[in-house]
Amino acid sequence: MNRSRPVCALAAGLLSLLAAARGQSVFSAPVATSSVSGQFIVSSASEDRPYFRRPDVGTNVSVLRLEPSLLAVSAEHFKAVLWREIGLAPGSSWSGKIFLALHPAHALDEPVLLTTQPFVRSWNYRVELPDLISRTRCARAFSAVLLLELANRNVPIDGRSATLPNWLVDGLARQVLRVEETQVILSSPTKVENDITLTRFNEQRRGLDPLAEVRRVLQSAPALTFEQLSWPTAAQVDGQDGGVYLASAQLFVSDLLALKDGPAKLLAFLVQLPARENWQAAFFDAFQENFRRPLEVEKWWALRVVTFVSRDPGPRWTPAVSREKLDAALVVPVNVRSTSNALPSYVEYSLQAVLRSFPPARQMELFQLRRRDLDLIQLRLAPELASVADGYRQLLADFLGEGKRGLFHRQPGTAATIKQLDVLDVRRHEVESKLKTSVLPADLNLTPP
C-alpha cells in the first residue's frame, strides 16, 4: 500500500520536499561515495554537464561545483558544526541514512528535492541536488535534512514525519556558514592548467563575527517580526528582500540558542515536533520557561533586535530617507475584503484609525509592532525627526502600560491618546515641511556654466 509522507514546509521552488510512497525503492541508486561516518552516501549521474563549462559559472563565488568526494566531506563538516551549535557532542550517534544524489544542472536555479521514507527501524532520507548550486541553497538542504533526521529519531516507521519551520532551517544554515574560519561546504576547482589547480577566491572572512552581515542588513531595514518569520514568502526565502528574512532568521536562532539552556530547549523543540499538529505548539512547550504566548515572543524579540542594532546603528539617514522611514513606521498596513469572496485590497490605517476601528486586543498587538519599529529607526533618523519619533514612541509605551508613567495601560485613555497623536502629527508635518524647503541653500546656483 502506498502512503504519502510530507516532510517539512519550506518555500515553494526552493526546497521541494516530496513524500516517497512506502514500499518503493527510492534509495536503490548505485553508491559512489560514503562519508567517514557512513551516514551520508553520495551518488552521481554520469551524464554530460554543460553548465560546468560556462565561464560565468567558473567565476561566480556564490555558486558551488559539487563533486561526490567533496560533497561527502562537506556534509560531515556541516553536520559537525550544526551539532556543535545545538549542543550535540562530536561523534554522537545518528539514526537515519542520508542519500545525496547529484545530477547535472540544467539551470542555475534548480530546486533541491528532499524525500523521506521509513525504512525497517528508522527513517531514511534522499536529497537530490544539481551539481551547480548556490551556497545558500545547498546549506539550506543540509540544514533541513539534518534537523529532520534529529526530529524523527523517535518516530515509529508508521508515524508522521516532523514539519520544520522555515526560520529554524534557514537560521541555522546561515549560522553554520558563518561561524567557521574555513569553508564549510567545499567546491571543486574551476579547472586545471599545466598541472596547476585554478580555483575561485572568496574573500569573505568567517569566524570573526558570524552576525556581521546580519548587522549590516538590519541597519538598513527593520527585522521581521516573529509572525512574519513564521510565514515567509518564497521571495524572502530566496533573498529577494535584500536578505532581511535570512538575517532575521539567523539572529532569531542565535538569540534562542543564547537563552539559558537554549541548545537543550531547541533539541526538545525538535523532538516534540512530530507529535504536534503544528510547530508553534512544540515551540511553546519547549520554551515555556521563556515564552507562553506569541506576544511574549514578540516583546522579547523586539528588545533583542533593538539591543543588537543599537550596538552599532550605523550612519544617520538623510532627511528624505528619514521622512520615508518615519512615515512608514506610523501607519498600519491591512488587507481588507469588501465581501467574503472579494480579493483583498491594501489599506494603510493611521494610529488614530486603529484606536477607533480595531478591538482592544488587536490594538495592543499592532501598537507593540509600531513601537518596536520606532525603537529600531530612531537612532538613525535625522536629528530633527528623531525627537519627533521619540514622542510617538513614548506615547505608545504609555498606552501599552510600559512607559514610566503608565497612564494609559489597557487603554483607559483612548480619547486622550488620539488627541496627543493629533498633536504629534501636526508637529511632525511642521518639521517635515521645514526639511522639504531647506534641502538646498537658497543661494546655490544650479545653472550650468
Residues 28 and 107 in one domain: yes
Residue 416 domain flag: yes
Predicted confidence at residue 138, as pLDDT, reads: 93
Do 104 and 45 form a contact (C-beta atoms < 8 A)? yes
Residues 133 and 250 in one domain: yes
**262 shares a domain with 325:** no
- What CATH number is attached to the domain comprising 120? 1.10.390
Phi/psi at 435 (5° precision): -65, -40
233 and 132 both lie in a single domain: yes
Structural domain includes residue 9: no
The residue written with cell numbers 561545483 in the block is: 65
Distance in angstroms (rounded) separating the CA atoms of residues 180 and 35: 20
Rounded to whole angstroms, the Cα distance separating 74 from 149 reads: 17
> Residue 100 falls within a domain, yes or no?
yes
User: Digits of tens for pLDDT over the chain (449 positions)?
Assistant: 433 343 443 443 334 443 333 334 444 445 578 999 999 999 987 666 665 555 555 555 678 888 898 899 999 999 999 999 999 988 889 989 999 999 988 887 888 999 998 887 889 999 999 988 988 999 999 999 999 999 999 888 888 899 999 999 999 999 998 876 557 777 766 544 444 333 433 334 343 468 888 988 988 888 999 999 999 999 999 889 999 999 999 999 999 999 999 999 999 999 999 999 899 999 999 999 999 899 999 999 998 998 888 776 667 788 888 888 899 899 988 766 666 666 666 688 899 999 998 888 888 888 888 888 888 788 788 888 988 999 999 899 888 887 554 444 444 478 999 999 999 999 999 988 877 544 333 333 333 33
pTM for the whole structure: 0.67
Q: What is the pLDDT of residue 335?
A: 67
* Whole-number Å distance between alpha carbons of 285 and 298: 17
Do residues 218 and 242 touch, judged by C-beta distance below 8 A?
no
Q: Where are the alpha helices (DSSP H) in 274-382?
A: 279-286, 294-310, 319-329, 351-357, 360-378
pLDDT at residue 26, as a whole number: 44
Identity of the residue numbered 44 = S
**Cβ neighbours, 10 Å, residue 419:** 12
DSSP assignment letter at 327: H
Whether residue 44 sits in one domain with residue 128? yes
Q: Is 248 helix (H, G, I), strand (E, B) or coil?
A: helix
Torsion angles phi and psi, residue 154, rounded to 5: -100, 10
The Cα–Cα gap between 119 and 124 comes to 6
Owning domain of residue 377: 313-437
Examine residue 201 and state whether it is found in any structural domain, yes or no: no
Question: Which is it for strands 345-350 and 331-336: parallel, antiparallel or unpaired?
Answer: antiparallel
Q: Which of 275, 303, 331 is the last residue of a domain?
A: 303
Consecutive H or E run containing 40: strand 40-44
CA 418 to mean position of chain CA atoms: 36
Distance CA 49, CA 399 (A): 62
Sorted by sequence, the CB contacts under 8 Å of residue 431 that are 6+ apart come out as 384, 385, 388
Same structural domain for residues 133 and 156? yes
Tell me if 7 is assigned to some domain: no
- Are 334 and 294 within one domain? no
Is residue 42 within 8 A of residue 32, CB to CB? The reply is: yes
HSE-CB of 401 using CA atoms within 13 angstroms: 7
Q: What is the Cα–Cα distance from 23 to 117, expressed in whole angstroms?
A: 9
Dist CA 97 CA 126 (whole Å): 9
The pLDDT value given to residue 437: 46
Domain endpoint, select from 303, 328, 360: 303
State residue 133 phi and psi, 5-degree precision.
-155, 150
265 belongs to a structural domain: yes
Q: Look at residue 71 and tell me if it is in a domain.
A: yes
> Do 269 and 322 belong to one domain?
no
Residue holding cell 526538545?
268
Q: Are residues 38 and 144 in the same domain?
A: yes
Per the structure, how many domains does the chain have?
2
User: 295-313 burial string, b = 16+ CB within 10 Å, else e?
Assistant: eebbbbbbebbbebbeeeb
DSSP 52: G
User: What's the Cα-to-Cα distance from 326 to each of 42, 124, 389, 431, rounded to whole Å?
Assistant: 52, 51, 7, 12
3 state SS of 388: helix
Q: Do 331 and 280 share a structural domain?
A: no
In a domain, residue 392? The reply is yes
Using the 3D structure, point to which of 280, 303, 326 is the last residue of a domain. 303
Residues 92 and 229 in one domain: yes
Q: Are 27 and 119 in contact (CB under 8 A)?
A: yes
- Considering the domain architecture, whether residues 259 and 402 belong to the same structural domain is answered as no
Residues 6+ apart with CB under 8 A from 224: 232, 244, 245, 248
Which grid coordinates belong to 246? 535570512
